[in-house]
Amino acid sequence: MVYGYVRVSTDRQTIDNQRFEIKRFCSKKNIAIDQWIEETISGTQLPEKRLLGSLLAEAKAGDLIVCSELSRLGRSMFMIMSILNQFVINGVRIWTIKDNYQLGDDIQAKILAFAFGLASEIERDLIAQRTKEALARKRSEGIKLGRPLGRKSDHLKLSGHETEIRSMIDENISKCAIARSFGVCRQTVASFLKNSQ
């Protein structure tokens, strides 16, 4: 069984880029994805609280999981290592595209998994630190950060789909079904309809 695993942290992000990368990679390798696991949840959440937890339990020896990068599995080195360790114990292989990493059952793969996980965590920490420093500097210069109070964004996720959404509403399609078809949450559809009246 071959699984494509895709995760984004918020519904403001899109799974399309990761899915495209995985499809392109699998096409080059002549691999067919049997099942997609897609979720919108923070990588800081424990695997048991994510669809990844089900995948950890269900994947069997010889199965392959393809994801865009190690950081899609978790946000900390220890979480990534724990997940990789569980897959190794179960004989499940993991291939990541951006990291160009193939986890099998050899010692080199396990060492590389540790190194990549550590590097990912260090990189995220450095990015977060630089961002905090830049924001603190702007605040000290008296620059107001963020969108002005009371101002809404000019471009919404569903902008450009007004006609399509209206016709779906006219056909009595539920907001939940509309949300699923556009890859957003139900509240996003409700807010969009309210603001576009």
Distance in angstroms between the alpha carbons of the first and the last residue of the chain: 47
Q: Tell me: the pLDDT tens digits for 88-128?
A: 778 889 999 988 888 876 776 667 667 766 776 787 788 88
Q: How far apart are CA 25 and CA 158, in angstroms?
A: 29
Note whether 14 and 183 are within 8 A (CB).
yes
Whole-number percent of the chain with pLDDT over 90: 29
pLDDT of amino acid 27: 95
Please give the domain boundaries of the chain with CATH numbers for all domains: 2-122 (3.40.50.1390), 162-195 (no CATH)
Beta strands in the chain (DSSP E): 2-8, 35-40, 64-67, 93-96, 101-103
Low-confidence ranges of the chain (pLDDT < 70): 105, 108-110, 112-113, 116-117, 120, 147-156, 196-197
| Burial of 22 from C-beta contacts in 10 A (0-12 / 13-18 / 19+) | buried
pLDDT of amino acid 72: 92
Tokens of 119: 């590097």
Q: Tell me: the pLDDT tens digits for 131-145?
A: 889 888 888 998 888
Entry field: residues in the chain: 197
pLDDT of amino acid 35: 96
* Cβ atoms < 10 Å from Cβ of 28: 8
CA distances from 122 to 54, 92, 127 (A): 28, 26, 9
Q: How far apart are CA 118 and CA 71, in angstroms?
A: 10
Tokens of 93: 């292989």
Looking at the DSSP assignment, which residues form a beta bridge with residue 94?
A: 65, 103
**pTM, to two decimals:** 0.56
